Amino acid sequence: MNEQIRGRAGGSRRRRPDGCERALSEAYDTALLDLDGVVYAGGHAIEHAVESLTVARDGGMHLAYVTNNASRTPEAVAAQLSGFGLPTGPADVITSAQAVARLIAEQVPSGARVLAIGGEGLRVALRERGLAPVASADDDPAAVVQGYDPTLDWERLAEAAYAVQRGVPWFASNTDLTIPKERGIAPGNGALVEVVRIAAGGTPQVAGKPQPPMHRETVLRTGAERPLVIGDRLDTDIEGAYNGGVDSLLVLTGVTTAAELLAAPPQHRPTYVDADLRGVLEPQPDVVPVDGGFRCGGWRAETAGDVLVLDGDGTPLDGLRALCAAAWTAAGEGRCGADGGKALGRIGM
């Protein structure tokens, strides 16, 4: 990866969100976009997503869609995005199914049988790597792999458990415990992996975000030189960017709350924070140390004991950015600074 971008990612040193003088779509050549909770929720595009990404693409930014959801093929995902008004080809979609299929292919013989517990996207990815998906633990599989599938039933989970109990190498596309849907937050693939673990014991090899196999798959398929990871989850999207040494933008349209962001450990702290994908089209404000606290826009945040204090006025997001700096710095200095309930209430979060 580009060394300048790697240095900006900040690693364990990050104690406040970064500023950027240019629009992010101009500062980075490729957006590595999560889908669920960022571009869409279930079958509906998230507000401002299509318009913002269209402007970014027309301005020269390459859009690549990187998803831990292994249930659908890249062709199906591309068709859905195109239906939202975002013309997308299958090559622009990178899935955890592709990442886990490559991981398995590196460890079993070509043509090996793989017990596939998941959707069509998982089976297609396995076939692309020269592997043969099978449906039963009695088919003598060389590996068993789990990927998200909303139609999965007890019998399929039981087959995975039988195979794992017999010592068959176990893989998972990802371990996201939840997934955003139109009606709320639903169980994700990680919840189904836990079902098998409870029955059979053991721990699978995981390919999806935030693990390195997913980052490697993304780099191989996009060729990005100045990538920006954009996601809604701290423990997958943002940690994946941290592990890959690249910058990240957290958007607050999915599962992460402002309180969770304030309490984030170093590997979960994004480079930038914004409300939604309109942030890609805008510069990011500086968060400046001042008088024992931090200022962003019209807001000033500091810690008083184990309480976060916020004063000022202005854009709520600037208040959140200032609070992040105060909370993350306090955590790095061994002070708590985690109780930001009243401070978040001041900015309506």
Which range among 10-14, 42-46, 246-250 has the greatest average pLDDT? Answer: 246-250
Q: Does residue 338 have a pLDDT over 60? A: no
Q: Which of 36, 235, 247, 318 is catalytic?
A: 36
pLDDT in tens, 202-239: 999 999 999 999 988 998 899 999 999 999 999 999 99
Q: Is 34 a catalytic residue?
A: yes
| 293 Cβ neighbours under 8 A, 6+ residues apart | 300, 301, 302, 303, 309, 322, 326
Q: Which of 34, 149, 232, 318 is catalytic?
A: 34
Percent helix, strand, coil in the chain, to 5, is: 40, 20, 40
Position with higher pLDDT, 106 vs 341: 106
Contact 95, 74 (CB under 8 A): yes
At 79, is the secondary structure helix, strand, or coil?
helix
Q: Is 36 a catalytic residue?
A: yes
Q: How much is the mean pLDDT over the chain?
A: 92
Which pTM was predicted?
0.87
How do strand 272-274 and strand 288-290 relate by DSSP bridges?
unpaired
pLDDT in tens, 1-19: 333 333 344 455 799 999 9
